[in-house]
A and B are shown apart, each in its own frame.
Chain A
Amino acid sequence: KAGVTQTPRYLIKTRGQQVTLSCSPISGHRSVSWYQQTPGQGLQFLFEYFSETQRNKGNFPGRFSGRQFSNSRSEMNVSTLELGDSALYLCASSQAGTVDEKLFFGSGTQLSVL
């Protein structure tokens, strides 16, 4: 079974641009969550999608948005990029998103904002 796939692996953008990151969950998984990892703030929850609906959202500005498609693939978008958005963005999937379930993480997309 293929794992969680995130594309692209690396991305370089400039301030003010927008970016879209993609996540393909493990086949059969319906819950997809996104996390931001930075040296200063650590790992922070962005949002979770389940069956195309946003089920939970972290404390990030509205420039961060996401969506999930009918095949459970998810995208996150960051508009008007700022230097502080440079981070590793991790996607995780699980079957139903219940509290005791194991989350499977992708290798992440490393975003650098110049």
Chain B
Amino acid sequence: GNSVTQMEGPVTLSEEAFLTINCTYTATGYPSLFWYVQYPGEGLQLLLKATKADDKGSNKGFEATYRKETTSFHLEKGSVQVSDSAVYFCALRGRAAGNKLTFGGGTRVLVKP
């Protein structure tokens, strides 16, 4: 079945540091890949997505590239802010799995001033 593995946190950074969160997946067929963010006490918000190989999703300074050869979708941001402190989830949605989202375990990011 489908699965997503992402690096465990917490990741603690200083403001303006570079952020990378690794995400790899196992899936049948050609899934769509997503990064969601969850702020304290809130639901999930879509951060970015990529629907086919070599697509790059980007939003709010975050980027991730769909790498089919390495089955990866790593999230990066060049200069983090305190407001980026949250839990980040990598997820996939595959046609073979009936369109449900399969999530990674989440990575907590804490950005200190």
- Using CB atoms and an 8 Å cutoff, list the residues of chain A in contact with chain B: 4, 33, 35, 42-45, 48, 55-56, 58, 90, 92, 97-100, 102-108
- Using CB atoms and an 8 Å cutoff, list the residues of chain B in contact with chain A: 31-32, 36, 41-46, 49, 51, 89, 91, 93-95, 98-106
How many Å lie between the Cα of A45 and that of B97 in the bound state? Answer: 11
- Residues of chain B within 8 A (CB-CB) of A105 are 36, 43-45
Q: Given A98-B99, A99-B99, 16 more contacts at CB 8 Å? A: A4-B43, A42-B105, A43-B89, A43-B91, A45-B101, A48-B98, A58-B100, A97-B99, A99-B32, A100-B32, A100-B49, A100-B93, A106-B43, A107-B42, A107-B43, A108-B43
Distance from A29 Cβ to chain B, minimum over Cβ atoms (Å): 14
- Residues of chain B within 8 A (CB-CB) of A98 are 99
A–B pairs, 25, beta carbons within 8 Å: A33-B101, A42-B106, A43-B89, A43-B106, A44-B103, A45-B100, A45-B102, A48-B99, A48-B100, A55-B98, A55-B99, A56-B98, A56-B99, A56-B100, A58-B100, A90-B43, A92-B43, A98-B99, A99-B32, A99-B95, A99-B99, A100-B49, A103-B44, A105-B43, A107-B41
